[in-house]
């Protein structure tokens, strides 16, 4: 009985910590080293998310696009813009861009982009209307409640071990 009570208290504490992490991170739109606009790229030019975030199809992590991918267009396109000049300088110096992470899950959560992408879940489901954002912000809560509600609605597993390995 005592062991079950301790486990129950620990589970409640873990959920509360998750809620706090989610609540404080919501709507965060950090300044990036290069002012990249999803509104222009994904919105105006309608470049598909998976064109730049190719790892999302085959990996748990979507990742950020390589400089090589960016330079494929920006050798010519908007080459005179100050932020594209920063991109070009990084490319020439062979140094990565130190992007500030916006979306993250606690270490005790396992999330696979690949599993969701191959099931046809759109990026906007979890990331919000990213194609409308000049600066990416966490517009949608990515807490346990939202994940469970989505899994229940889609009638897929809500076994704890799927997300908590």
Domain presence at residue 33: yes
Digit-coded pLDDT (tens) for 11-44: 555 544 444 444 444 457 999 999 999 999 999 9
Domain presence at residue 69: no
Digit-coded pLDDT (tens) for 106-153: 999 999 999 999 999 999 999 999 999 999 999 998 999 999 999 999
DSSP state of 26: T
Domain presence at residue 87: no
Whole-number pLDDT of residue 144: 93
Instruction: Write the DSSP assignment of 75-136 as a string of letters.
Output: TTTTTTSHHHHHHHHHHHTT----PPP-----TT----HHHHHHTT--HHHHH-SGGG-SS-
Residue 70 pLDDT class (50, 70, 90 cuts): very high
Domain presence at residue 31: yes
Domain presence at residue 80: no
- Tally the domains of the chain: 1
Instruction: Give the residue numbers spanning the domain of 149.
Output: 2-64+99-163
Domain presence at residue 24: yes
Measuring CA to CA, how many Å separate 153 from each of 157, 158, 160, 161, 164?
11, 11, 17, 19, 20
Domain presence at residue 17: yes
Model pTM score: 0.78
d(C-alpha 8, C-alpha 31), whole Å: 40
């Amino acid at each position: 009985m005592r062991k079950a009570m301790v486990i129950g208290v620990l589970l409640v504490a873990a959920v509360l910590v998750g809620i706090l992490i989610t609540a404080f991170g919501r709507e965060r739109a950090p300044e990036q080293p290069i002012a990249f606009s999803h509104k222009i790229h994904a919105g105006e030019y309608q470049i598909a998310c998976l064109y730049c975030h190719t790892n999302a199809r085959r990996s748990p992590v979507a990742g950020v696009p390589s400089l090589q991918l960016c330079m494929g267009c920006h050798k010519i396109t908007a080459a005179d813009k100050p932020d594209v000049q920063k991109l070009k300088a990084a490319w020439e110096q062979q140094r990565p861009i130190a992007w500030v992470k916006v979306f993250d899950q606690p270490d005790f959560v396992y999330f696979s982009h690949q599993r969701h992408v191959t099931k046809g879940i759109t990026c906007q489901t979890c990331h919000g209307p990213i194609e409308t954002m000049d600066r990416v912000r966490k517009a949608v809560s990515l807490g346990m409640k939202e994940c469970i509600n989505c899994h229940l609605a889609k009638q897929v597993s809500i076994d704890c071990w799927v997300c908590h390995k």
